[in-house]
Structure 1
Amino acid sequence: MTLKPLTLAWRNLMRHKSFTFINLLGLSIGITCCLAITIFIRYETSFDTYHQKASRTYRVVENFKSAEQVEHWNTTAYPLAEALRNDFKEIPLVTQAAGPLHRLFKIEDEDGNVARYEDHALMVDPFYLQVFDFTWLAGNPETALTQPNSVVLTESIALKYFGTAMHEKQSVLGKHILLENKDELTVTGLIADAPHNTGLPYSVLIPYEFFKKNNPYFANNWSGNYQGTTFVTLEKGQSVQDLEQRIATWKKKYLKPEDDRRITYALQPITEAHNDVVYGAGPGSYTMPLKFIYAATGIAFFVLLIACVNFINLSTAQAANRAKEVGIRKVMGSSRFGLVAQFLRENFLLLAFTLVVSLAFTQMALGYINQTLAIIDLHLAMDTQTVLTALVIGAVVMALACFYPALVMSSYKPIEALKSKFSGGAEQGITFRRALIVFQFAIVQIFIIGTIVVAAQMKYFKTKDLGFTTESVVITYLHNREHDETLRDQWLANSAIADVSFASSSPLRSYHARYGTSFRLPHQLEEEGQEAEMKGADVRYLSFYNLTLLAGRNFTTVEDSLKEFIVNEKLIAGLHWTPDQAIGQHLTINEGEGTIVGVVKDFHNESLQDDITPCLLINWKPFLGVANIKIAKNQNMEATLAFIEKTWKARSPDGIYYYDFLDKTLARKYSLQHMVFQGFTAFALLAISIGCLGLYGLLSFMALRKTKEVGIRKVLGASVAQIVGLFSKEFITLLLVAFVIAAPLAAYFMNEWLHDFAYRISLSWWMFALGIGLTVIIMLLTIAYKSIKSALANPVEALRNE
């Protein structure tokens, strides 16, 4: 008895297969998009929220006031943590971390050597384990990091090095692992792999005391930030503002007077760090700005909304086909409530299938997103909450999209329905459907225009002259520094290698070799110094990267101490010098004093998202740890890379060879923008697809209303083109109305997005013209498919049916 209404609903759905399929596909696309974005938003706003003390834990951040601006740092001086711990007894926990750092680990056993570089070696003090939560598989968390030469491994890292010995977790304890080929560490603990949504990733934990012992300058320097992060955990209800005010007056106890005037500290909740653009995410992580989260939320809402609009259009258009059915049911005694219930059962059954399909689509979409955005190590996955979210979305869709069509279809009067006079008295409904089409067209055009703008900006990133060579440049780290020149000569002996330069990095700022300093004139106070980037460079660096020398000379040798500088235009502009005036001038930096011997034309040492910063090159040998290798044109890249690796390993047999292409490094700088571009493209395609389905729905309704008119026009000699024009005229008008709405909205949103880039394109009329042009083409193709079919129908049949 209870299955009979559902059986009837199923039969009705199967009777109108094309209508059912289109509705199923449209809703599935909309719900899939909404689910995928919801999972993305939940993931990107969940960083570090899983810690039990997360709501009471804060990251100490630093504001540094230079001569020209205030700089914001998410790292702090290493001595800060211990000083806070000693002087602020009311703070329950203070902890710190150094890194994550890029380090070489190796074991030696009867099966040979296993050696790898790990990017996430984190140096932490014992309090770190009390502030943040770890899942311990073996070892004692209270004692694991008390000895300087101990190490705690994550499960995946232990599996890399100890393999089959991992069948029992405890068996890894007491084993030894070699750090940087010199320090033997004893495994004292085994923990589960770090969650992907952590702002300070780790694969290996090493005691901070080990770092302090091996890096005394960094560990005791109050003036510099060297990738160290300080955290405090407060009591419930403890005032953050009061503590910040006390720290503001307390810091002069440790800082030099000039640093005390320039440096202030603030406390930032760790749950906000990942989405904060002022201080940025922690070292080794990436920042997901809140405005992207808000934009994604808006996109999810609008895509779901146009899917519902599409459903309403299709359902109300389909109502015309079912008018006689409604009339017969009413004559047979069916009440309006009973008809609404029947139509709702059909929609509920359709929606149930839609949710199942949407979950399957979502699983596939997440796999594609994770693979596409592997550059930021994204890990999106479905869980129980995803299913609950799908049910909530289903309920919303039922409320938004199902009740109105059911009410429309149940509202026909029996006599008019049996006479097929379903078009009469429906002008308000037609106006409503036109408004929905305008809404769909507007959203589609915003997405299309947005995609065009983002694509143009990405093309600008790829094609703008950066002021240096980027093609066919391979970068690798030097392990055995004693044989640098010999290694260079061996590489250059191969005709496939055009040039080799030793430096600290390429002209583009590198994460692994980023050196900052402060420069000033010798007579100026330290607090008058200005921030600059410092790069190590040898005598071949300028010619290797085609940097233009404006005045002075190149380096003539590599020095064992700091003596000479080559600076960029940006640096001397801050000192109000011309290139010729700068030559011979003395500068004082944090590392010492030297003479300017050359000035180079500005090059983009930052990505195009940021402005060029003051930069100085030094020929100081300790800073030349990176080999820049240029591959000659028309060479076998695979064979050349193999030769480079073989030669490197012959000189550094105990090292781990690693290389990267400069153009790939550059591409990673724009990973977030690339994600925005792919997102816009995907959502534009989705909006277009759903919009076309909605347009098809209204065309179906119009074709039924105009059946008699089309038949008469054909009898009177109207051509197929004229019939197509009959259908197109109204939609061209609706499209123009939608464009008037969409253009200013798209201009506003895209100007806001472009505003974040120091180097950006300008919005141009052709972007909007192309946007509406593409929309017109898509619309005409959709109209042509349906209207030509109506135009080719036999007019006699049309008039007979009327």
Structure 2
Amino acid sequence: MIRNYLTITFRTLRRYRTYSLLNITGLAVGLACGILIFLVVNFQLSFDQYHRKADRTYRIVTELRHETVSYNRGTPKALAEVLRRDYPLIETAARIMRVRSGLLSLPRTDGGFQQKFQEDRTICFADPDLFDVFDFQWKTGSPASSLTRPNSAVLTEKYARKYFGDADPIGRVLRLDNQWNLTVTGILKDHPVNTNLSDEVYISYGTLSGLSDEMAQSLRNWQDLDSEEMTYVTLPETAAVEPVEAVLPAIVRKYYNQEDVRVYHFRLQPLSDVHFNTQFGGRMQKKFLYAMAFVGLFLIVAACINFVNMATAQALRRSKEVGVRKAMGSTRRQLFGQFMAETALITAIAVVVALTLAQTTMPLINLSMSVFNANLALTDLLQPKPLALLIGLVILVIGMAGFYPSIVLSGFNPIAALRGRVSTTQVGGISVRRGLVVVQFFITILFTISVIVIMSQLRFVQQADLGFTKDAVLTVPVPTADPIKQQTLRNRLLQIGAIEEVAFGNAPPASSNMNQSSFTYDTRTEPEKFETQTKIGDQNYLTLFDLKLRAGRNFFRNDTVSNEVIVNEMMVKRLGLKSANEILGKRLNVWDADRTVVGVVKDFHVNSLRMPVGPLVIFKRASANRMVALKVGPGNLPETIKTVEATWSELFPENVFTYQFLDQILERFYTAENILLVFAQVFSLIAILIGCLGLYGLMAFLAESKTKEIGVRKVLGANLLQILWLFGREFSLLILTGFAVAAPLAGWLMNKWLQDYTYRIELEWWVFALAIVLVAGITLLTVSYQSIKAALTNPVTSLRSE
């Protein structure tokens, strides 16, 4: 009997090739999307969850509570030592301090260098206890001793090969920033990609005290708060979180003065939250993953609806087969089993096609998530949990797609079936298919509105006036704190014809380099209740970036003591002053120095448009300059960059030249949004494709059910347009019904998404109008062929059909 079922199934697939192809295509595309989305979501949720102690590992983060609360993932360097020494509730406490940019060199015996490597965010200083908190895999060396001595370093395999090739790296020397020698004491196996601990060079934390007197003091400074200085703790297996949370305020009371006690608040952040909490530097939001999961579910539901429509549309053609089987003694249960088996076989074929499609598009998915170093593969589905979910998904699809058509087909009256008297109402009627197609229209319109809004918001943030010039600005690192060498660099760069202007600073006007500082104003003795952003910039900073002065003046070029500051309009507003002129000449104590306000600039954005503009102070400090910005004029850009590199390398032969364009820096603010947009666009197109297949099925059913009616109308004088309106009216009603349900939901969802942006577009009527016009146009193209074919059918043929 099973062999007979398979034989009949294959014959049916061959006989109705078009319907079979559409069914398999719809299911395969829906399943492929579901598989890809599952892999993406599973990958994001797996970050750092492979560590044995992940469920009891926490990062301590800092909340700074002024008038508003600001969030910092960093903690003072002294905190971990205090926790280890004084609090047995903590099993392990470990510090890690990332280096934003560092130079590693291979020294020669004659004092020169074999090779130099400029590393960005791959070097860190780490406690040896870090290897107890996290499960690093070792190739050579000991987690207990490799970082116990100052000036020792541990490398990953990849970076050991990068620096030393195939030679044994143990005992070899690397020089950090042309000043400090580091001895390699251990080699780690390369990290999995699903980790936020992606550092490649680990330097012993004890090295810090010998770098400089300033660094040695920072080890004991509780006000020194850097977002790259993090503390991780592991709790004992039986310990609760609450007692540990309770001791953190006691630490604040012990080591901070009365004013700071109200400001500094430490709390525990679970390791599982680190990747997703954007307040503390998380790179992905869970709501994006939930949205993607719902998208995958919607696409699979749409594919199943399409299958149901197609299966019931061809049910009339199989009515005689059902009649014969029932006449030969088949029970309804047996027929139900046969049709479910057919669905299972079609689904199995669709799964194979889906896996092939998923594998084919996997490189594009990995490319779209290259910021996470994603290397997704279908082999990820072979793990126990993903495999069980895949099997469950296939079973669910078989049930959703096959149950209703099987019930309908197995329920035919055998006599009516053999006489060819089965009507459209006996295969579920048009109303059921209308409801299913409305659901497809709902999904399609929901996706279409979402894509329009996301694209509009991203276009808005990319084209928004940030308050400064971002075009044709090249940024180059400054490897010296010597003001004389910086001035030499400026003079040499200005000799390059295409360079119009040169400015030094610690970062561009908007960047991820955020520096918050407390300050006191004028004659007030207590710090203000709010902090200010700080930017380092010289006398050319305002003119190069076209920052507009509202009052006062720019820095004096001969200001050698650097005691002048420029503030923004928001600073004036937050201080409660009535005009910008009131602040001119007033004292501002920031970075532990008294400075004089000489100018007020128009507000500009220092971060992404998610964040509001806050108070800002700009001042000169040559020792803090980390960047030189170049305004590049029209001309041969590659040649200009080569000339800049040659000039820079001549002045700093011991360093490695790198450069970035400002617009590339700003683009990184919206990494997650760009990924979301790519997925939204792709899956919206797929939803439309699946919807078109469903429309094709309904159109086929409508054409067959209205054959007699069309013939009668044509005999009575109806013309082509009137016949076409029969179908147009049908689909217009379905589109409007789907739109009536989808538009309010899409508006609510997109409005919630836009709330993350302080500066955002407004949801206007044209968004919804464009969505319904696009869907209506696609619908028209999909159904036009069959509707015209039905309208042109000879009425004699139509009247003879039944």
Alignment TM class, shorter chain as reference: over 0.9
Q: Which deviations, in whole Å up to 9, do the C-alpha atoms of 1:222-279 show, x marking residues without a partner?
A: 0121221112211123122122222212332222222222212111211122222443
AA of the residue aligned to 2:493? W
Tell me the equivalent position of 1:209. 206
AA of the residue aligned to 1:143? S
Decide whether aligned partners of structure 1 residues 536 and 763 sit closer, same or farther in structure 2, where only a CA change above 3 A counts. same
AA of the residue aligned to 1:182? Q
CA contact 1:13–1:346 (8 Å) conserved in 2: no
Tell me the equivalent position of 1:778. 778
What secondary structure does 2:166 align onto? Answer: helix
1:137 counterpart = 2:139: yes
Tell me the equivalent position of 2:505. 503
Tell me the equivalent position of 2:71. 72
Deviation at 1:388, TM superposition (A): 4.0
CA contact 1:562–1:593 (8 Å) conserved in 2: no
Taking the aligned partners of 1:592 and 1:763, their CA distance within structure 2 comes to 47
Tell me the equivalent position of 2:125. 123
More displaced, 229-238 or 713-722?
A: 713-722
Taking the aligned partners of 1:88 and 1:130, their CA distance within structure 2 comes to 18
Taking the aligned partners of 2:2 and 2:660, their CA distance within structure 1 comes to 66
CA contact 1:117–1:656 (8 Å) conserved in 2: no
Deviation at 1:335, TM superposition (A): 2.4
What secondary structure does 1:643 align onto? Answer: helix
AA of the residue aligned to 1:631? V
**Structure 1 segment 125-524 matched on structure 2, within 5 A:** 125-165=127-167, 171-214=168-211, 215-226=215-226, 227-281=228-282, 286=283, 288-382=284-378, 383=380, 384-385=382-383, 386-426=386-426, 429-480=429-480, 481=482, 482-511=484-513, 514-524=514-524
CA contact 1:10–1:349 (8 Å) conserved in 2: no
CA contact 2:154–2:202 (8 Å) conserved in 1: yes
Taking the aligned partners of 1:655 and 1:701, their CA distance within structure 2 comes to 73
Tell me the equivalent position of 2:80. 81
**TM-score by structure 2 length?**
0.95
Deviation at 1:343, TM superposition (A): 1.6
What secondary structure does 1:528 align onto? Answer: coil
CA contact 1:375–1:668 (8 Å) conserved in 2: no
Indicate the percent of aligned positions where both proteins have the same amino acid.
38
Taking the aligned partners of 1:208 and 1:363, their CA distance within structure 2 comes to 44
Deviation at 1:498, TM superposition (A): 1.7
CA contact 1:587–1:596 (8 Å) conserved in 2: yes
CA contact 2:489–2:648 (8 Å) conserved in 1: yes
Task: State the Cα RMSD in Å.
Answer: 2.0
Decide whether aligned partners of structure 1 residues 427 and 359 sit closer, same or farther in structure 2, where only a CA change above 3 A counts. closer
What secondary structure does 1:422 align onto? Answer: coil
What secondary structure does 1:172 align onto? Answer: coil
Taking the aligned partners of 1:734 and 1:704, their CA distance within structure 2 comes to 19
CA contact 2:319–2:418 (8 Å) conserved in 1: yes
Q: Which deviations, in whole Å up to 9, do the C-alpha atoms of 1:55-103 show, x marking residues without a partner?
A: 111111112112x212222111111110111111232211111115322
CA contact 1:724–1:783 (8 Å) conserved in 2: no
Tell me the equivalent position of 1:576. 576
AA of the residue aligned to 2:296? A
More displaced, 178-187 or 751-760?
A: 178-187
Deviation at 1:562, TM superposition (A): 4.2
What secondary structure does 1:678 align onto? Answer: helix
What secondary structure does 2:589 align onto? Answer: strand
Taking the aligned partners of 2:661 and 2:575, their CA distance within structure 1 comes to 35
AA of the residue aligned to 2:674? H
Deviation at 1:423, TM superposition (A): 2.0
Tell me the equivalent position of 1:168. none
Taking the aligned partners of 1:131 and 1:376, their CA distance within structure 2 comes to 23
Tell me the equivalent position of 1:682. 682
CA contact 1:560–1:620 (8 Å) conserved in 2: no
Decide whether aligned partners of structure 1 residues 716 and 738 sit closer, same or farther in structure 2, where only a CA change above 3 A counts. same
Taking the aligned partners of 1:270 and 1:144, their CA distance within structure 2 comes to 25
Decide whether aligned partners of structure 1 residues 424 and 603 sit closer, same or farther in structure 2, where only a CA change above 3 A counts. closer
Deviation at 1:547, TM superposition (A): 0.9
AA of the residue aligned to 2:345? L
AA of the residue aligned to 1:13? L
Q: Which deviations, in whole Å up to 9, do the C-alpha atoms of 1:726-745 show, x marking residues without a partner?
A: 21211111111111111111
Deviation at 1:445, TM superposition (A): 0.8
What secondary structure does 1:47 align onto? Answer: coil
AA of the residue aligned to 2:357? F
AA of the residue aligned to 2:178? N
For structure 2, list consecutive stretches of 5 or more residues without a partner in the other structure: none
Q: Which deviations, in whole Å up to 9, do the C-alpha atoms of 1:631-676 show, x marking residues without a partner?
A: 113x111111111111111111111111111111111111112222
**Structure 1 segment 618-633 matched on structure 2, within 5 A:** 618-633=619-634
Tell me the equivalent position of 1:538. 538
Tell me the equivalent position of 2:106. 107
CA contact 1:123–1:205 (8 Å) conserved in 2: yes
Taking the aligned partners of 1:479 and 1:394, their CA distance within structure 2 comes to 58
Decide whether aligned partners of structure 1 residues 712 and 505 sit closer, same or farther in structure 2, where only a CA change above 3 A counts. same
AA of the residue aligned to 2:505? A
Taking the aligned partners of 1:558 and 1:203, their CA distance within structure 2 comes to 43
What secondary structure does 2:531 align onto? Answer: strand
CA contact 1:100–1:201 (8 Å) conserved in 2: no
Tell me the equivalent position of 2:602. 601
Deviation at 1:722, TM superposition (A): 2.8
Taking the aligned partners of 1:449 and 1:70, their CA distance within structure 2 comes to 34
Taking the aligned partners of 2:560 and 2:46, their CA distance within structure 1 comes to 48
Taking the aligned partners of 2:428 and 2:348, their CA distance within structure 1 comes to 31
Q: Which deviations, in whole Å up to 9, do the C-alpha atoms of 1:473-492 show, x marking residues without a partner?
A: 11110124553223222222
Taking the aligned partners of 1:558 and 1:323, their CA distance within structure 2 comes to 95
AA of the residue aligned to 2:237? K
CA contact 2:424–2:430 (8 Å) conserved in 1: no
Deviation at 1:134, TM superposition (A): 0.6
Taking the aligned partners of 1:559 and 1:768, their CA distance within structure 2 comes to 57
Deviation at 1:425, TM superposition (A): 3.7
What secondary structure does 1:530 align onto? Answer: coil
Taking the aligned partners of 2:562 and 2:632, their CA distance within structure 1 comes to 31
Taking the aligned partners of 1:597 and 1:653, their CA distance within structure 2 comes to 38
Taking the aligned partners of 1:434 and 1:691, their CA distance within structure 2 comes to 13
Deviation at 1:200, TM superposition (A): 2.9
What secondary structure does 2:315 align onto? Answer: helix
AA of the residue aligned to 1:104? L
Taking the aligned partners of 2:720 and 2:387, their CA distance within structure 1 comes to 49
Taking the aligned partners of 1:2 and 1:263, their CA distance within structure 2 comes to 71
**Structure 1 segment 39-54 matched on structure 2, within 5 A:** 39-54=39-54
**TM-score by structure 1 length?**
0.95
CA contact 2:408–2:426 (8 Å) conserved in 1: no
AA of the residue aligned to 1:711? G
Taking the aligned partners of 2:141 and 2:52, their CA distance within structure 1 comes to 21
Q: Which deviations, in whole Å up to 9, do the C-alpha atoms of 1:738-769 show, x marking residues without a partner?
A: 11111111111111011111001111111111
Deviation at 1:800, TM superposition (A): 4.0
What secondary structure does 2:351 align onto? Answer: helix
What secondary structure does 2:306 align onto? Answer: helix
Taking the aligned partners of 2:776 and 2:262, their CA distance within structure 1 comes to 61
CA contact 2:73–2:230 (8 Å) conserved in 1: yes
Taking the aligned partners of 2:217 and 2:273, their CA distance within structure 1 comes to 31
Decide whether aligned partners of structure 1 residues 541 and 310 sit closer, same or farther in structure 2, where only a CA change above 3 A counts. same
Decide whether aligned partners of structure 1 residues 109 and 34 sit closer, same or farther in structure 2, where only a CA change above 3 A counts. farther
